[in-house]
Structure 1
Amino acid sequence: MLPTWNQNPPFTLTRASHVRLAVTDLSASRDFYRDTVGLVVTEEADDVVYLRGLEESAHHSLVLERAETAQALQIGLRVRTDDDIVAAEKHFAAHGIEHERVELPHQGPTLRFRDPVGTHMELTSSMSLVERKMQNFDEFVAGAPQRIDHYQCVTYDVQAATDFWTGLGMRMSEYTAKDDTDELWGTWMEVKGNTHDLVFTNGRGPRLHHFAYTVPDVSSLMRAADVAGATGFGEEIDRGPGRHGISNAVFLYLRDPDQHRIELFTTHYQFIDLEEQPIRWDISNRRRAQLWGMPASRRWFFEASEFPGENVREPLLTATPDTLEDFLGVH
């Protein structure tokens, strides 16, 4: 059923902020995100690399941490002030949600927790500031990503995830449901005024499907695809270029050396006015995910990055989308 949007949440979320990934070859991952994707390296050490988009003044939006196993560590959201971190602690304590305050380089007060479906989250109220490079056009490389925009997570219970996050102030802009029902297969939720900061889709979870950066234009996507081909990552173009029905964005998905998935895309439409209603899509409607062209592959639909220590559970909803292999009759 459709969730209730809480317009007076216990604390104020402002946007998707940063993602932390465990990678097995730090140098190879740094090179991929810097040279093939086009992110800016802000800082690096023996065991960690911090990167950001060209438009960003926050110290980092992607953190790569050296590890023996590739995993999605946390996905991060910003809150408005330090007081919101305190309010989040009080809210989680009152509702039995395990959480911990952590001290991290280049971040202000930071709170880690797991949502009810096991997504590993991180809230922070501030970051160290660095130079924006949005007019350093001579430094634009590959797709020239401008800023982090959203995450898509796979979950076994879309309804529970959606109820939790709309209760914290996120607003559903679009959704996919089992045909002729309001059984939620996927929900697109936002706090910053475009179509999504956080997405949950039905599947084996909890897992991180992808994180996404905006790019200046469609030619930037083509440039990223060309650079991926030239740098040996052509086969790691996971999907696209194409255009989503949901959000209306033109997109390109790539996999990094550890198979974490990043999306580069042209940005969404506005979803700000309070009278706006969420757009509904039947799961059988292929146009929801691909407005033109063929559907995504099984690999795109069913592969994702796991969170540490989380058991991956089978989805409660059995409906599944058509894949490229289904479309072509490949078994």
Structure 2
Amino acid sequence: MLPETNPAPPFTITRASHVSLGVTDLEASRDFYRDVIGLVVTEETDDAVYLRGLEEAAHHSLVLERAAEAKAHRVGLRVRSDADIAAAEAHFAATGIHHRRVEKPHQGPTLQFTDPVGTRMELTSSMDVVDRRMQHYDEYRAGFPQRLDHYQVVTYDVQAATDFWTGLGMRLSEYTAKDGTDELWGSWMEVKGNTHDLVFTNGRGPRLHHFAYAVPDGSSLLHAADVAGSLGFGDEIDRGPGRHGISNALFLYLRDPDQHRIELFNTHYQFIDLETPPIRWDVSNPRRAQLWGMPASNRWFFEASEFPGEAVHEPRLTASPETLETYLGLH
């Protein structure tokens, strides 16, 4: 069943903001995201590296944290003001959502919580401001990532996740459903006016499938692939290049040294006007995943980054997607 977006949410989420990852070799991960992906290193400490896209004025959109295990620590969203942090705190207290205020370097008031399907989230209202590097073309590397755009989370209950987040003001822009029904298998939700800030897809979860940075154009994806190959990371190209049906985006997925997945993408569209209905895709329609390009491999479909301390559950709905391996076997 399709949920309705709450037009007056208890606090105002403005965009996907930042992600923090546990990595087992901090220096190797820094080098990957700087040299293979092209992010800007804002700051380094003994236990963390802060990075951002070329056009970002916020101190960081990716935090690499030294850890014994490779886990997805937090998915971050921005809210409009400090008052929204206080409103979120009051709302979660009233609705039984576990939460806590924390102090985070270079961030303003920050609230951590876990959503009803186990996604470890973080809200902040501000960050230290740094210089944008978008016109420093002499510093552009690899895929020229401009800004963090969205996340995709694998969940065992897409309906419950979608109900929760639309209740907080997110709008459903596209969705996949069992053929001929509105039984949700995947939901693409947004607050900033393009197709997605937060995506939930059916599978063993909760796990972070990927986080994504926007790049200037399609040639940036090809250049990123060439750079990955030249630096010895060609085998870590996880999927693409290709074009999704959902969101209409050109895409390239890569895996970092700990196998966290990042997407570089370009060309999704505006989704601003409130009267615009979401686009529906049958789960059996292969064009939802790619308008052109080969199907994704088994590892793209079934591997993702776990959240620390969160048990992984089998999905409520089950299906066998057409993978690259099955496609090649059938053709």
What TM-score do the two structures reach when normalised by structure 1?
A: 0.99
Number of paired residues?
330
Query: Which residue number corresponds to residue 295 of structure 2?
Result: 295
Does structure 2 retain, via aligned residues, the 8 Å contact 1:283–1:321? no
- Paired amino acid for 1:225: A
Does structure 2 retain, via aligned residues, the 8 Å contact 1:247–1:268? yes
- Paired amino acid for 1:255: R
Matched residues in 1 for 2:205 and 2:13: separation?
A: 24
- Paired amino acid for 2:160: A
* Matches for 1:150-189 after TM superposition, within 5 Å: 150-189=150-189
Matched residues in 1 for 2:51 and 2:144: separation?
A: 13
1:71 equivalenced with 2:94 (yes/no): no
- Paired amino acid for 1:291: L
1:97 equivalenced with 2:100 (yes/no): no
Gaps of 5+ in 2: none
Q: CA deviation at 1:255?
A: 0.1
Does structure 2 retain, via aligned residues, the 8 Å contact 1:85–1:125? yes
- Paired amino acid for 2:245: G
Match of 2:248, SS?
coil
Query: Which residue number corresponds to residue 126 of structure 1?
Result: 126
The range that moved more, 178-187 or 115-124, is: 178-187
Query: Which residue number corresponds to residue 281 of structure 1?
Result: 281
Does structure 2 retain, via aligned residues, the 8 Å contact 1:297–1:325? yes
Query: Which residue number corresponds to residue 13 of structure 1?
Result: 13
Matched residues in 2 for 1:220 and 1:313: separation?
A: 37
The range that moved more, 131-140 or 293-302, is: 293-302
Q: CA deviation at 1:324?
A: 1.2
Matched residues in 1 for 2:188 and 2:182: separation?
A: 14
Does structure 2 retain, via aligned residues, the 8 Å contact 1:178–1:319? no
Q: CA deviation at 1:4?
A: 1.2
Matched residues in 2 for 1:292 and 1:250: separation?
A: 10
Q: CA deviation at 1:322?
A: 1.4
Q: CA deviation at 1:182?
A: 1.1
The range that moved more, 284-293 or 147-156, is: 284-293
Q: CA deviation at 1:179?
A: 1.3
Identity of aligned residues (%): 80
Query: Which residue number corresponds to residue 36 of structure 1?
Result: 36
Q: CA deviation at 1:293?
A: 2.3
1:230 equivalenced with 2:198 (yes/no): no
- Paired amino acid for 1:304: A
Matched residues in 2 for 1:185 and 1:319: separation?
A: 10
Matched residues in 1 for 2:325 and 2:201: separation?
A: 20
Query: Which residue number corresponds to residue 112 of structure 1?
Result: 112
Query: Which residue number corresponds to residue 61 of structure 1?
Result: 61
Does structure 2 retain, via aligned residues, the 8 Å contact 1:23–1:71? yes
- Paired amino acid for 1:101: R
* Matches for 1:188-207 after TM superposition, within 5 Å: 188-207=188-207
- Paired amino acid for 1:86: A
Q: CA offsets per residue over residues 88-112 of structure 1, 9 Å max, x none?
A: 0000000000100000110000000
Q: CA deviation at 1:320?
A: 3.4
Gaps of 5+ in 1: none
Match of 1:329, SS?
helix
Matched residues in 2 for 1:20 and 1:320: separation?
A: 31
Match of 2:246, SS?
coil
Q: CA deviation at 1:78?
A: 0.1
Match of 2:36, SS?
helix
Q: CA offsets per residue over residues 46-95 of structure 1, 9 Å max, x none?
A: 11000000000000000000011000000000000000000000000000
Q: CA deviation at 1:294?
A: 2.1
Matched residues in 1 for 2:182 and 2:295: separation?
A: 23
- Paired amino acid for 1:17: S
- Paired amino acid for 2:264: L
Matched residues in 2 for 1:236 and 1:294: separation?
A: 16
